[in-house]
Amino acid sequence: MVVPNQSFFTTATTTYTRSDRMRRCSVELKVAQSWNPEQIVALLEGLAANHPAVLAQPAPKALLVEFGSECYGYKLSFSIADPLRAGSVSADLRLAICRRFGDLGMDPPA
């Protein structure tokens, strides 16, 4: 669809986002393939579910998204109510992942 620039200044604009500020965010990481992928998925989803800013619905979801010669790639997706907190919540989750991996004697994710 093409909208002439002049239309933005002379007519009303409609937004379809309404008052919903929810944002879906993600964290991607690589983990040594010596670890069971199902355990990694459960660990990532559990960490996200326990963060106070992560919404319960839709639930956090971790996926195995890539095979590598030494590592598997994972993507953790989660929703937050305030899009301005996306960076800080993602950073919190990365720190929590590193801490949890350390507690389990795992190498930090790449």
For residue 99, the domain's CATH number is 3.30.70.100
Q: What total of structural domains would you count in the chain? A: 1
27 found inside a domain:
yes
1 found inside a domain:
no
Average pLDDT, integer, range 14-43: 87
3 found inside a domain:
no
Nearest Cα to 74, choosing from 44, 54, 53? 44
Q: What is the pLDDT of residues 56-71, one digit of tens each?
A: 999 999 999 999 999 9
Please give the pLDDT value at position 110.
87
Please give the pLDDT value at position 21.
82
Count CB-CB contacts under 10 A for residue 64.
Answer: 14
In DSSP terms, which residues pair with 31 in a beta bridge? 72
The residue range of the domain holding 39 is 18-103
9 found inside a domain:
no
95 found inside a domain:
yes
Asked if the peptide bond before residue 60 counts as cis, ω within 30 degrees of 0, the response is: no
